Structure 1
């Protein structure tokens, strides 16, 4: 069987492929090219637009003539038969569908342009209220410092917020003067570019001052060193009820937050602590401590001690 198969193949060895291709017509060559491309294993990997051959090649019917083309298109459009409607059109269909209130664009314009009617007498624009920037802090820094040093009994609140040009030595003088002051109950230094030396000075003041109840140091340049000094000072202070040190230039870190939580657990007077904890553990401990202090004050008030 194998020998007979080989004998059948012997007659194809002497075939001249070039002669066969030369005898093929142009149409047969295109068919052969298409068959060979379909047999290509990589043909399936090509996009469909590249696999499909162009079958729209037609002989030219003549030179381009715009007028003849337009007349042909018009003739085709006129001869085209419109499709018949399944349901004949009736003008009362708007009322049947419940859209009888629809108006045309012309009617809408006539209604809006009239003086006595239309949309202009119904819709009115709201008057915009301008929002102006807040005025600068009017506090006189030098005069306030002198009043603190003289222990002015009429000065119970000091607000230096958003005053950017207070020198560091002047801020230290404020902290030093507050050590001997017995009337100021609220002191605010938010957004004054205060840094760690100011925080350390405020911590030393808190160890001595027994009158201050609220201290605000938000939005400054205090780092973990300055915050640690404040936390250590609050261990010896039993009069401050509110302190705010949030929104500093950089995060204070986990170790400082742990110190804050421990301080709040040991302190029984602070009922408001303005700081956003980044760690869940210190946050939960601080929240529980603040709740405990507020509950303690509530019980004292109920019992009549406050």
Structure 2
């Protein structure tokens, strides 16, 4: 054992449990009261397996032996202090002490009493008047019109030659080359500049034409402006000659030769024709694809389509783009796919009511998450959450098909 005079001590600070009744003294004592627990460093080192670390020896503090304060009751000492002494003592508290709440780390230094309620109008009036009565800052030099203050900027003289002077460039050309350049047209010179790599003198089209040996266009000069190529004229697509009445009868009769129905861009189809075709779709076992884009389809006939999708088991692709379906109807159509879960592709973009709303989009996303067969969905979502949910689920459905296909091939 080491001598008591040579022992070293470690100080631990803990928050006191007792308080003083006086409110002001209680808050100050909470900030400043510290109970000093001492224990011998030699005893602590015995309980630690790691090699001892040398600690600085602390036997004296401010010229006094620390052993005198082992049995001092700090709370009684603080209770004997006056409010002024406690205020002075609180200024020595570390504001970053973690044992104190943030509201007590910074003391309130506003001792001046309020002069009255805040009046914004009077305050602005006072500030305006006070600013107007203030004198301007004195200037070292009085203002004089036409006289510049401070140093006048003078640019440094450079030794670079005057670029405005015309200098003749002498080129050593072979025999006949000078005559060929004199007789060459400007288009030929443009082509020659591109071959020599002077791309900074040419526009992009001229440079590529010279590199690819396509020849320059008539009238090409060094100052030519790049123009967009003229679009090719293509003939209009022919009108859809499909007879809606005849094909509707084929759907009702369950014609085995009709596997794809295309009514795209057919205007003024009667509502009754839509309803008859959708009624026949309930029991049809051969039709696999329906294209009804830009046909003026509305919510009325689409209700029959909802009933058909709940019963049909052979349909795989539905396209209802560029029509007049509302958001609730689109939600109902997608929910109807859950009855049989046979549809692989459903497209319904570009409807007349462009905005479906957050609630409808989230309900559509919920219905899609319950569908295990849908692979492609053509809808525009404004809500990022709904769009992300639909994308993730469709990706999972595609991954499941790929996994099953690879598993069957390996077997």
- TM (norm. structure 2) is 0.46
Name 1:158's counterpart in structure 2.
Answer: 261
Name 2:332's counterpart in structure 1.
Answer: 229
Superposed displacement of residue 242, structure 1: 0.7
C-alpha separation in 1, matches of 2:335 and 2:187: 78
Aligned runs of 1:151-300 on 2, under 5 Å? 151-250=254-353, 251-300=355-404
- In structure 2, do the counterparts of structure 1 residues 151 and 285 end up closer, same or farther at CA, with 3 Å as the change threshold? same
- In structure 2, do the counterparts of structure 1 residues 107 and 160 end up closer, same or farther at CA, with 3 Å as the change threshold? same
Indicate the structure whose relative CO is greater, using CA pairs within 8 Å and at least 6 residues apart: 1
C-alpha separation in 1, matches of 2:187 and 2:402: 70
Q: CA RMSD in A?
A: 3.6
Aligned pairs, number = 213
List gaps (5 residues or longer) in structure 1: 1-40, 45-85, 113-118
C-alpha separation in 2, matches of 1:249 and 1:147: 30
- In structure 2, do the counterparts of structure 1 residues 142 and 89 end up closer, same or farther at CA, with 3 Å as the change threshold? closer
C-alpha separation in 2, matches of 1:89 and 1:111: 25
C-alpha separation in 2, matches of 1:122 and 1:253: 57
Aligned runs of 1:1-306 on 2, under 5 Å? 93-95=169-171, 108=185, 122-123=215-216, 129-250=232-353, 251-304=355-408
Superposed displacement of residue 140, structure 1: 1.6
- Asked if the contact 2:282/2:312 (under 8 Å) is kept, the reply is yes
- In structure 2, do the counterparts of structure 1 residues 279 and 110 end up closer, same or farther at CA, with 3 Å as the change threshold? closer
- Asked if the contact 2:334/2:368 (under 8 Å) is kept, the reply is no
C-alpha separation in 1, matches of 2:325 and 2:331: 10
Q: Partner of 2:310: helix, strand, or coil?
A: helix
List gaps (5 residues or longer) in structure 2: 1-142, 147-163, 190-209, 219-228
Identify, as 1 or 2, the structure richer in helix.
Answer: 1
- Asked if the contact 2:259/2:287 (under 8 Å) is kept, the reply is yes
C-alpha separation in 2, matches of 1:88 and 1:136: 68
- In structure 2, do the counterparts of structure 1 residues 101 and 173 end up closer, same or farther at CA, with 3 Å as the change threshold? farther
- TM (norm. structure 1) is 0.61
C-alpha separation in 2, matches of 1:87 and 1:204: 88
